[in-house]
Amino acid sequence: MSYPEPLDSIIHPRHSGIATFMRLPYITDLKELDVAILGIPFDGSSSYRPGSRMAPREIRVMSVAVRPYNIALQVNPYKKHRIADYGDLVTDPFSIEETFKMIESGIDKLMEANVIPVAVGGDHGISYPILRSIAKKHGPLALIHVDAHPDTDDTQHGHKLTHGTPFRRAIEDNLIIPSKVIQIGIRGTAFYEDDLAYGEQLGFRVISAEEFMAMKIEDFKAAVHQIVGKTKTYLSFDIDGLDPSAAPGTVCPELGGLTSLHALQLIRSLLGLKLVGADIVCVSPLLDSTSRITSITAAQLIFEMLCVI
Amino acid sequence: MSYPEPLDSIIHPRHSGIATFMRLPYITDLKELDVAILGIPFDGSSSYRPGSRMAPREIRVMSVAVRPYNIALQVNPYKKHRIADYGDLVTDPFSIEETFKMIESGIDKLMEANVIPVAVGGDHGISYPILRSIAKKHGPLALIHVDAHPDTDDTQHGHKLTHGTPFRRAIEDNLIIPSKVIQIGIRGTAFYEDDLAYGEQLGFRVISAEEFMAMKIEDFKAAVHQIVGKTKTYLSFDIDGLDPSAAPGTVCPELGGLTSLHALQLIRSLLGLKLVGADIVCVSPLLDSTSRITSITAAQLIFEMLCVI
Amino acid sequence: MSYPEPLDSIIHPRHSGIATFMRLPYITDLKELDVAILGIPFDGSSSYRPGSRMAPREIRVMSVAVRPYNIALQVNPYKKHRIADYGDLVTDPFSIEETFKMIESGIDKLMEANVIPVAVGGDHGISYPILRSIAKKHGPLALIHVDAHPDTDDTQHGHKLTHGTPFRRAIEDNLIIPSKVIQIGIRGTAFYEDDLAYGEQLGFRVISAEEFMAMKIEDFKAAVHQIVGKTKTYLSFDIDGLDPSAAPGTVCPELGGLTSLHALQLIRSLLGLKLVGADIVCVSPLLDSTSRITSITAAQLIFEMLCVI
Amino acid sequence: MSYPEPLDSIIHPRHSGIATFMRLPYITDLKELDVAILGIPFDGSSSYRPGSRMAPREIRVMSVAVRPYNIALQVNPYKKHRIADYGDLVTDPFSIEETFKMIESGIDKLMEANVIPVAVGGDHGISYPILRSIAKKHGPLALIHVDAHPDTDDTQHGHKLTHGTPFRRAIEDNLIIPSKVIQIGIRGTAFYEDDLAYGEQLGFRVISAEEFMAMKIEDFKAAVHQIVGKTKTYLSFDIDGLDPSAAPGTVCPELGGLTSLHALQLIRSLLGLKLVGADIVCVSPLLDSTSRITSITAAQLIFEMLCVI
Amino acid sequence: MSYPEPLDSIIHPRHSGIATFMRLPYITDLKELDVAILGIPFDGSSSYRPGSRMAPREIRVMSVAVRPYNIALQVNPYKKHRIADYGDLVTDPFSIEETFKMIESGIDKLMEANVIPVAVGGDHGISYPILRSIAKKHGPLALIHVDAHPDTDDTQHGHKLTHGTPFRRAIEDNLIIPSKVIQIGIRGTAFYEDDLAYGEQLGFRVISAEEFMAMKIEDFKAAVHQIVGKTKTYLSFDIDGLDPSAAPGTVCPELGGLTSLHALQLIRSLLGLKLVGADIVCVSPLLDSTSRITSITAAQLIFEMLCVI
Amino acid sequence: MSYPEPLDSIIHPRHSGIATFMRLPYITDLKELDVAILGIPFDGSSSYRPGSRMAPREIRVMSVAVRPYNIALQVNPYKKHRIADYGDLVTDPFSIEETFKMIESGIDKLMEANVIPVAVGGDHGISYPILRSIAKKHGPLALIHVDAHPDTDDTQHGHKLTHGTPFRRAIEDNLIIPSKVIQIGIRGTAFYEDDLAYGEQLGFRVISAEEFMAMKIEDFKAAVHQIVGKTKTYLSFDIDGLDPSAAPGTVCPELGGLTSLHALQLIRSLLGLKLVGADIVCVSPLLDSTSRITSITAAQLIFEMLCVI
């Protein structure tokens, strides 16, 4: 059993070569993999400022800067798991419904092969079909959800399947366990007074950004492990969980968000959970800084996810 | 009968005030209007690089620089017609079908009130429902279509209603008269050898960008007037008819396009036609230059359209 | 008495419609209002990098993302006060003196109608004529002043009326009460050793950015309320109070400034003061990030101001 | 008599060294000079989008790429004249009147020393005080004026001294000879029907951009030399004479302008005139492209001016 | 013998998938290829503004928009030749000498396999080692060289191998036939009076940009075919042959360059020559426009090259 | 003995004049100086994203905003030392070896004249030849090294002299004292598990960014002074020590870095050390934000360095 290795940047300059996630080989034979990083370049379920469809390609480009060894966690994830770039799922830019079917059946193949997906969106709508597929295999899941917004709307513009509704749909379909949902980073403004009520009434643990940043990370870690325990867990990371200064390249940056250090600490504190899948969503390269720090950030956070799986 | 006037930039600096098209008043009572400039901020029927949904707002902002008197044509259009900013049509960012119905019924109201629409997209998909509404009132139309691409595909990704199909749909619905269709600016690459065959077989007059730029504008004008004559005519202007240097802010710029002078001359040569509607589409502000020249260009071309109606 | 409501983003996508502050209606009849958000698009009293004249328009555009309910303060300000976009004051781009007269007489109309102004600059020079008008009605005021710089110069380039002098002029005219002036965020470099002496000798409470960020927000809140008490208070917020990472789009960003969370906490701690007016100044859209986070930040801070009035 | 030479780019890489115009030495002793390139970083007489105050500095930076030998004209201007960077005139960012006095007295010093000014604005307002100074010495001048706009307004916002009025003021003060004024590049829209009437009635030769681009350059050259002859001549070049594609970094780009080749040909055709001064104005670096092509263009056009003096 | 086909954009949206040149498969087995598009991400031989090392990756990204059928030439090149993305040659970012050896030996492999290279730089230095390899196989070549600069310096900063010297080195090594060298687009400024003398004395046919744009394309075509005839020919295209408006993303844009239409016509006129290799160099993505038109242009010109091989 | 003074911004607007560091005079006579700020515009020893060669020029431009008096430290450094802009060292863009010799001999001149260098890179490779020169005069030095990366690689791409190796070379040459090396800000990912082992085994004090930000600044200060004491000390500041939000304009931003306040506090805590030289490196203006906050930050940090020397 061989472990795919990233291209060696000491031989191949980082500005060279065809861009894949983390410079890993592009492998589509699932038998060779334990974890697949895959793109889902679809933002049709997002309103307002567009562009997260461009994110997988851009994050691939910027991920060349991520080296293989995690100093903080003292681990090289590519030596623990067989990880590669699985390419992008096929999507239909003109239909949410068709695309969500494509996503679900695309993830089904990973489930059949016992491969853990790390999905790179795309907008937050994609989490719902991913959860449908994973829960088919693993049953209802715990959820760690980092985001500025709860994404538990019932509908948007009359539609059930949008970037604002994935976790209400997941609750309705019994894909996630309400008492094992932790939302971190919630803040800002809401359309209605009761926007947060849905989750709170179901027993979500909602940790606002301000609250999270005032906690000791050890306390956060203890709380998460206490709530989630050994339940199979999905991690969904909306880049707008971070502050606009750290992640400007997103649809709707909200003041008072996490710093990049908070984001690192947050993911690292998940070490030991039974992660069965993860995504990172809502990176909008067209809105990113000249230096593309939002894509750099997303690439690094994907790497941290690989290290805690 | 009063004529709406743009805000006087000699009193109100151009960087001041709430941005409307051409600094005209925002009027929704159609009885007060002959021509309505309206936004259709929808790019859900567009694939690849997104963003034309942001165009109406951005073009409003940049249109403050357009003064009321056209030196070349020696006309102030606001003294000839009652023109105002009619606001944006409501759209559904998650559904092409719903949005096209909203567009058609939105334009129906103008048709009932005998108001000529000058629509600011959005992507090229919007031309089809506009044509449906106008042709209901006026019967099949002549079409002046400026574009890098013929937009006569049958389907894209299996869908009938996209930014690549509006004029095939219009032909099928008998909204436009094939022998009175003139396409200008066509160039670049095609998916298949016969991409242009559809229109040619139906008798479209296809003038490539290279051919147009080599013609004398008088000859072009004569040809257009000879083909179209007194038939009621729709003008659909895709900003990618221009060269990337002149209009970078668009989904898919194609080399070898029109200069801004060509675009001005082209529209001015339409003076005397019976224009019953017009649109400008595919401006993508997120891809525009720092100086926003694509939005400036669109604003100026809208003004030229107003001058030849 | 009806309360103006922002356009409903669930029906009208946020990228649609004519841009007003917070999607509120544009209302110029002061009898219908308790609070008026108004633009003052003038940067003629600013030196070095220009552009805050473009801010009101740009902040209008980006404010579409601010929803009506404040989660942290649990309030919808539009249900407490009648608030609308009052448009922009007329300014004279070629004369500071003329513009300041226009501003003063423009605010006078609000004072007569008992309407509280929330002014969107423009550069910091505008605070002086606003204070002149408000103090005419209310007498000398307390001042909460967030800024990297004290703005108490005597002259700049020989001129008395500039963006560096408003609060010295306000002191000289007895518009503000020295012992009730609190300056927060001061830092960086000064032209002379005694740049800060003016305020300190008068009894200003100067809290450097470093000092503010090291305080507990409760202690800050207590101090402010203790100093200001029930005195009528003006809030002047220069966006350069924030760190360059959080608000790059300004003339002269200074290292070591507030995070966006600090800015939110600061304004929220003012709840309970008798605010009779407020401004936000020195946003320079031409220097903003691709994602326009400075304008987003300004829009959100305006919303927070509305919530504590 | 020694000739200042630009820094040798073969030894000193172009990205090195303190930026001066054309890498020439910074010389303030007028006795050492025949021609002085000087900056006038003032845009207080400009309305709408600001920023030309930043142009002298930025054009210095980008001018490092201009090599000393003009292939087309077969001349090295630094071997014909003693040319250097004279630095920037002192300006008053808060007062048009004060600044115009400073400009006039600043140029007076050059006139006394028989040094030809090549001024880098700043906005077009600066041409008026320059002309005042030059005409004091040389008497009424011929004028070659390249621009999208005639700049012969009487007032703007009630002011006599603005970027829209310099040439009316110059006429009123008898600084330029109406029958020897040639305006090239005029186009676009006007506020009023008679905006162009002022110059035409006085006998200006107005060549629209469209007309200029349709002429043979030899015919243009003949016309200019026939009109101007041996009269002492001032060249005023507003960068918006060029097309937005060629010079996006300006306040108000107008469609249908000159290409960069046209601009080169235009200036080169002035060889043989008695140029006693020149300026280039309205470059706004904050609006320029990432590659800064407008500043590059301005730098190159300054070089061409040096070659025809 | 199978022909590699580009990914079908009708199924796979253009914003999806791992980016290769023209969406072609990544193939490193030379036996499967007739033509290899390969990246040479090296800009160490370039001075002044850096960045062309980033070009192969960026051009891959933007090339997704190029469709497979060339309307003007009526050809699908992928049906005539077996063409694929061969990846990037290994380079040494710290040594020109090492990198040039790597390039030469890298191209040697193509020569052995009778595969025609279409190289994507990188700076213009790379043409020299490519020519060394090709001439080893084919003997001295004719050269079509599109560029603003002649690139025939002897040394730069004392070095023989730089972006300013490739064609002098090629002459010295007898890689190209002086009487069969055609340089198109030369213009701008030179360091010395005799910068162009080297080529002219050797019998190069130098066609300035101004001269080229004034020629009928048929006359140009006739001249090229007359000069080159059946000699094996190399095409070297420096993107700065184009005007800054068309290709801003380059080290040193020069006014008065080719439009994008001229570039298309130029390459198309080479149809019928015996092209044995080609390159496109000096695209600097860090200096490109927001819409990335320089990379789009390069991608399209590569496609045109494929069509005339 | 006269002290050079910065240009007075109260007379000369900050957007005026030829840009030098801090508006100080350009002085090359070392006898007139105690401290020389000098540019080293070389990035040939850097891989991946280029551009720090442009930094000295850009930092000069942005440094105009730094005023002469440091409020926090209560000092005007220009009254304590004779400080000026010494210009840029000559570099060879095509050779690391040649450039390093030029740097060493360039600094040698300062050493002979007892002038302290504050060098503005360029990439981190430049620290090695600077240290060679300083240690020749002063013997082995203590080192304060702020950076995301340890820069103690043995080779990169087979080369000994790169931006990743300066401090291993310095150790090998006995230029720095291992037990007096303090590295602050280290974090992120590494190529190999033992990337940090080199320094740790030698006794470097490595303080990760996370560790530094959790320390009280007083404790940090005490630790530094305890370790370094009265040993002559060099300060090397890689801008990527800061977080991407604070310093986006750099080759390889790493999450979890210092805020701008941390950077200020860090440098200020060095007051009292015997600093004999300093550098700031790896600012890449081509990757900076629109507002150029990385260059502003670098300029301010240089000023802080001047204040603690």
Whether the per-residue pLDDT at F231 is higher than 80: the answer is: yes
Q: Does E117 touch chain F (CB under 8 A)?
A: no
* Best mutation target, C261, C283, C295, C297, to test chain A (most A CBs within 10 A): C261
Q: Does D2 touch chain B (CB under 8 A)?
A: no
Are F152 and F168 in contact, with CB atoms under 8 Å apart? Answer: yes
Q: Does D70 touch chain E (CB under 8 A)?
A: yes
Which run of H or of E encompasses C275?
strand C274-281
Residue C195 is predicted with a pLDDT of 78
- Locate the chain D residue with the closest alpha carbon to E156: D10
Residue D189 is predicted with a pLDDT of 87
Rounded to two decimals, what is the model's pTM? Answer: 0.98
Q: Which residues of D touch C162 (CB under 8 A)?
A: 94
Report CA torsion sign: D293, D294, D295, D299: positive
User: D197: which DSSP letter?
Assistant: H
Q: Phi-psi category of A51—alpha, beta or left, where left has phi over 0 and alpha has psi -120 to 50?
A: left
- Say how far apart CA D145 and CA D124 lie, in whole Å: 11
Total beta-carbon pairs less than 8 A apart between chain C and chain D: 52
Q: Which residues of F touch E50 (CB under 8 A)?
A: 43, 50-51, 53, 286
Are F21 and F302 in contact, with CB atoms under 8 Å apart? Answer: yes
- Triad C6, C9, C11: Cα angle to 5°: 115
Of C245, C261, C301, the CB nearest to A210: C261
Of F15, F53, F57, the CB nearest to D19: F57
Mean pLDDT of C99-122: 98
Residue B94 is predicted with a pLDDT of 97
* Best mutation target, B57, B85, B120, to test chain C (most C CBs within 10 A): B57
- Say how far apart CA E205 and CA C235 lie, in whole Å: 71
Whether the per-residue pLDDT at B214 is higher than 90: the answer is: yes
Chains touching E by CB (3 or more pairs below 8 Å)? A, B, D, F
Taking an 8 Å cut-off on Cβ atoms, the answer to whether F19 and D88 are in contact is no
Residue F13 is predicted with a pLDDT of 96
Of F53, F95, F159, the CB nearest to E50: F53
Digit-coded pLDDT (tens) for B10-65: 899 999 999 999 999 999 999 999 999 999 999 999 999 989 999 999 999 999 99
Taking an 8 Å cut-off on Cβ atoms, the answer to whether C188 and F300 are in contact is yes
- Residue E256 distance to chain D (closest CA, Å): 4
3-state secondary structure A57-106: HHHHHHHHHCCCEECCCCECHHHHCCEEEEEECCCCCCCHHHHHHHHHHH
Q: Residue E71 corresponds to which amino acid?
A: I
Taking an 8 Å cut-off on Cβ atoms, the answer to whether B53 and C15 are in contact is yes
Are B161 and B126 in contact, with CB atoms under 8 Å apart? Answer: no
Taking an 8 Å cut-off on Cβ atoms, the answer to whether D53 and F15 are in contact is yes
As averages over each run of 10 residues, the pLDDT of chain A (309 residues) reads 92 96 98 98 94 97 96 95 98 98 98 98 98 98 97 95 97 98 93 84 96 97 98 98 98 97 98 98 97 98 97
* Best mutation target, C42, C47, C48, C94, to test chain D (most D CBs within 10 A): C94
Taking an 8 Å cut-off on Cβ atoms, the answer to whether B87 and C15 are in contact is no
Residue B259 is predicted with a pLDDT of 98
Q: Which residues of D touch B290 (CB under 8 A)?
A: 248-249, 286-290
Q: Does A158 touch chain F (CB under 8 A)?
A: no
pLDDT-derived band at B193 (thresholds 50, 70, 90) equals confident
Report CA torsion sign: D91, D97, D100, D101: negative
* Best mutation target, D90, D92, D94, D97, to test chain C (most C CBs within 10 A): D94
- Say how far apart CA E143 and CA C106 lie, in whole Å: 71
The residues in F 265-304 lying below 8 A from A, measured between CB atoms, are 284, 286-290
* Best mutation target, D149, D255, D282, to test chain B (most B CBs within 10 A): D255
Q: Phi-psi category of F191—alpha, beta or left, where left has phi over 0 and alpha has psi -120 to 50?
A: alpha
Chains touching A by CB (3 or more pairs below 8 Å)? B, C, E, F
Q: Phi-psi category of D139—alpha, beta or left, where left has phi over 0 and alpha has psi -120 to 50?
A: left
Residue F188 is predicted with a pLDDT of 85
Of C13, C71, C291, the CB nearest to A253: C291
Q: Which residues of B touch D49 (CB under 8 A)?
A: 15
Of E93, E157, E287, the CB nearest to F47: E93
- Locate the chain C residue with the closest alpha carbon to A159: C10
Residue F263 is predicted with a pLDDT of 98
Q: Does A23 touch chain E (CB under 8 A)?
A: no
- Residue E44 distance to chain F (closest CA, Å): 7
Give me the count of residues in chain C.
309
Taking an 8 Å cut-off on Cβ atoms, the answer to whether B291 and D289 are in contact is yes
Structure tokens at E206: 């130098």
Q: Does E94 touch chain F (CB under 8 A)?
A: yes
Coil, strand or helix at C173: coil
ipTM entry? 0.96
- Say how far apart CA B147 and CA A262 lie, in whole Å: 49
Residue segments in chain E with a per-residue pLDDT below the cut of 50: none
Are E303 and E70 in contact, with CB atoms under 8 Å apart? Answer: yes
Structure tokens at D32: 């050492």
Residue C267 is predicted with a pLDDT of 98
Architecture of domain B21-308 in CATH? 3-Layer(aba) Sandwich (3.40)
Task: Dump the DSSP string for A31-63.
Answer: GG-SEEEEEE---TT--SS--GGGHHHHHHHHG
- Locate the chain E residue with the closest alpha carbon to B250: E291
Q: Does C157 touch chain D (CB under 8 A)?
A: yes
Q: Which residues of F touch C287 (CB under 8 A)?
A: 290-291
Residue C144: CB atoms within 10 A of its CB come to 25
Q: Which residues of C touch B13 (CB under 8 A)?
A: 41, 53, 91, 93
Residue F284: CB atoms within 10 A of its CB come to 32
> What does each C-alpha distance from A146 to A94, A195, A263 come to in angstroms?
28, 17, 9
Residue with tokens 């072609």: E24
Q: Which residues of C touch F218 (CB under 8 A)?
A: none
Chains touching C by CB (3 or more pairs below 8 Å)? A, B, D, F
B63's CB contacts (< 8 A; 6+ apart) are: B19, B21, B22, B23, B299, B302, B303
Coil, strand or helix at F184: strand
- Locate the chain F residue with the closest alpha carbon to C243: F260
Going residue by residue through chain D, which has 309 residues, state the pLDDT in tens, using 9 for 90 and above: 799 999 999 899 999 999 999 999 999 999 999 999 999 999 999 989 989 999 999 999 999 999 999 999 999 999 999 999 999 999 999 999 999 999 999 999 999 999 999 999 999 999 999 999 999 999 999 999 999 999 999 999 999 999 999 999 999 999 999 999 999 999 988 887 777 889 999 999 999 999 999 999 999 999 999 999 999 999 999 999 999 999 999 999 999 999 999 999 999 999 999 999 999 999 999 999 999 999 999 999 999 999 999
Whether the per-residue pLDDT at C1 is higher than 80: the answer is: no
Taking an 8 Å cut-off on Cβ atoms, the answer to whether D244 and B66 are in contact is no
Q: Does C136 touch chain B (CB under 8 A)?
A: no
The residues in B 185-244 lying below 8 A from E, measured between CB atoms, are 186-193, 195-196, 208-210, 213, 243-244
- Say how far apart CA E30 and CA E111 lie, in whole Å: 10
Residue B181 is predicted with a pLDDT of 98
3-state secondary structure chain E: CCCCCCCCCCCCCCCCCCCCHHHCCECCCHHHCCEEEEEECCCCCCCCCCCHHHHHHHHHHHHHHCCCEECCCCECHHHHCCEEEEEECCCCCCCHHHHHHHHHHHHHHHHHCCCEEEEEECCHHHHHHHHHHHHHHHCCEEEEEECCCCCCCCCECCECCCCCCHHHHHHHCCCEEEEEEEEEEECCEECCCCCCHHHHHHCCEEEEHHHHHHCCHHHHHHHHHHHHCCCEEEEEEEHHHECCCCCCCCCCCCCCCECHHHHHHHHHCCCCCEEEEEEEECCCHHHCCCCCHHHHHHHHHHHHHHHHC
pLDDT-derived band at F227 (thresholds 50, 70, 90) equals very high
Structure tokens at A39: 């793109």
Structure tokens at E259: 């439009």
- Triad B50, B277, B43: Cα angle to 5°: 10
Digit-coded pLDDT (tens) for C196-217: 889 999 999 999 999 999 999 9
Residue A132 is predicted with a pLDDT of 98
